[in-house]
Structures are given as C-alpha cells and as structure tokens.
Amino acid sequence: MQQTTLQGAEVAALETEFSSGAGNRHCVAVDSGIAALRLSLQALGIGAGEEVILPSFAPTATAEAVRTVGAIPVFADIDPLTFCLDPEAVAAAITPLTVAVLPVHLFGHPAAVDTLSGLAERHGLAIVEDATQAQAAALSGRKVGTYGVMSVFAVENGAMVSTEHPELARTVRNLRSSSHNDMRMSDECAAGGLAGLTKLAGAVARQRASCRYPDSALTGVVVPHVEPGAHHVYHRYTVRIPGNGRPDRDAFALALAARGVRARVSIPTPLHRIPANRTRVSGAYLPRTEAAAGETLSLPVHPGLTERELERMASACNSLGGVL
C-alpha cells in the first residue's frame, strides 16, 4: 500500500503558488475549510467567552468553527441584495466581548469588507474573511482575502489560510499538526490543488460567461445582484423567488424539477435557528436573513451547460415566474 505523504514537496509548492496569487501573503495549506477557520481563530487567540460576529445566512462550518474554539457566535443580519453581512447590523451587534468579525463572501459575491475593515479598526476587532466560495472575487479592484488579518480559501481537496503576518502563519503551522485531529494536507491532495489553481482563471471566466445569458433572459425571478465595483465569481447562481416565503420557493423548485431543472436550496436553515448555535446573544430577530432563507434558490448554471440547455432552464423558470 502506498504511504500518504503529509506536508511534503507538493504541499510546499501549492502554498508558494497560492501565495503568488494572494498578494504574496503567507499561506498555509490544511485539509478542510472548517479546519482553516478554526486554526485562524486559534492563531488569533480567540477563545472561551469571546464573541465573533458572523452572518446567519452562511454555511454551517462558519459557526461550527467559532464554537469549536469556545467562542460565542453572534449573528448579524445581511444585505438583502448581496446576501452578505450588513455593516450597520454588525455595528449594532458589537459588545465589550466582541473580538472579531467573520464576513462570508457568499455565493461568490464580495462582502462589504472595505466598510467592515474600517468598522473593525475603530473598535479594535480582527477581520477573518471566509472566502471559500469566492476565490478570485474582488471589490473595487482589490481581491477578497486581502482585507482580513486572516483569510480562508477553498482549494481542491482542502483549504488555505492566508495572512500577511509571518508570526500568525507560523502559529497556524504549529497548530496544524499539534491538534488532536491532524489537519495537515497530503501531497496527493496538494497535487490536485495545484492543478486546480492552473485552471482557476479560465474556470472563473467561463462561469461568468455562462451567467450572462440567465442574467438577461430570466423574468419572474430576481437574478443575482452585483454591487458597483464588485467582481462576482458566481460560485452559485442564486436567485430570489418572489412570493410570501418558503412554500412558494419550494413549490417553484419542485415545479422546476418536473421540467428537468434540478435547482437546490443552498442554505435551507439560517445558522441562528440551529439548536447548537443558540446562545444568550445569538437569537436576535434577523428579518432579511429569514427572507433570504425562504426565497432563495441556486440554479444549475455552470460552464458545462450548452446554450440550448441554458435556454431550456430560462424557459422553465420564466414559465413559472409570478404564477406560484
């Protein structure tokens, strides 16, 4: 049986290659996105009783990473157009126990990290960016993942922690292999990550090109919003189904499936409604988050679709829009 090599030459090459595309920041490869988030928080010394503000409309790994280090996830509402953290909601959630803000660049659209960075600086908070869905996204020409003191990206077969501070990178490296659950990446996985990096620019360009047709052709649903100055990479093509909430969206998805279009609900349950995340400070009413959870649907838009398949998908959506 071939022995797996952990943190070997291929991993070092992946870290170097990733660094060159991430503003020459120090990059550390790990085995998963949740490991990357957890190690980032640990490297900053965030722990028991401290509060981290994050969106509830986000993947479960974000809150899980916060809880794993003993910190308290505090959920703030989102911008209704971008589905990312609303800076005003974040400002309202800050308490003396707040130590960090964890914005998620959801579905490939940049969060308002420029505004959040100023807010964090005024309050002495760390920004930890979750860019696992947004590699190559940018805001006003500046790449996501370059605003936070720590940033996390997804790579094929693993994840990457990025920071401009060499001492934080060293801490992440030490924590990576000293934890009870080894979080190191294998050379075999790193080889796949390297191959993915060489194809990244082309893959993003093709995905953005695939999204142009539904952007212009879809009626009856609200197509993805792009903020001025934002470079959206469309990790998922997520639309909003007009209506009065979840029954309408779910009926729409079922009707699409009957027409051969397999859409998915990317975030069916906001994180603040998951029992493990309920704390004294996490149960705030988040109306824009609740609306997004009940009305959003990710359509199967990807570079592998032909023009005819895109037309068929748009036709199926348009035949239902405004009816249910």
Gap between the terminal Cα atoms of the chain: 56
Domain ranges of the chain: 9-196, 200-320
How far is 298 from 86, CA to CA, in rounded Å? Answer: 21
Res 14: pLDDT: 93
To 5 degrees, how large is the angle CA 310–CA 311–CA 312?
A: 90
How far is 279 from 89, CA to CA, in rounded Å? Answer: 18
CATH number attached to the domain at 9-196: 3.40.640.10
How far is 192 from 230, CA to CA, in rounded Å? Answer: 29
Res 252: pLDDT: 92
Report in angstroms the alpha-carbon separations of 212 from 230, 261, 309, 314.
Answer: 16, 18, 14, 12
Each residue's pLDDT tens digit, 80-108: 999 999 999 999 999 999 999 999 999 99
Q: Which residue has the tokens 């796949």?
A: 192
Judged by phi (left if over 0) then psi (alpha if -120 to 50, else beta), residue 204 lies in alpha
CB-CB contact of 74 with 25 (8 Å): no
How far is 21 from 308, CA to CA, in rounded Å? Answer: 35
Res 108: pLDDT: 98
Q: At what angle do helices 9-20 and 187-217 cross, to 10 degrees?
A: 40
How far is 322 from 171, CA to CA, in rounded Å? Answer: 53
CB-CB contact of 138 with 230 (8 Å): yes
Q: What is the pTM of this model?
A: 0.93
- Give the list of residues 6+ apart from residue 7 with CB closer than 8 angstroms, or none: 29, 177, 184, 185, 187
Res 324: pLDDT: 43
- Give the list of residues 6+ apart from residue 196 with CB closer than 8 angstroms, or none: 155, 156
Res 181: pLDDT: 62
CB-CB contact of 195 with 156 (8 Å): yes
Residues of the chain with pLDDT under 70: 1-7, 179-181, 244-247, 280-284, 321-324
Report in angstroms the alpha-carbon separations of 26 from 100, 110, 149, 293.
Answer: 20, 21, 11, 36
Q: Which fold has domain 200-320?
A: Aspartate Aminotransferase, domain 1 (3.90.1150)
pLDDT averaged over every residue in the chain: 91
Diameter over CA atoms, the chain? 58
Specify the pairing of strand 138-139 against strand 142-143. Answer: antiparallel
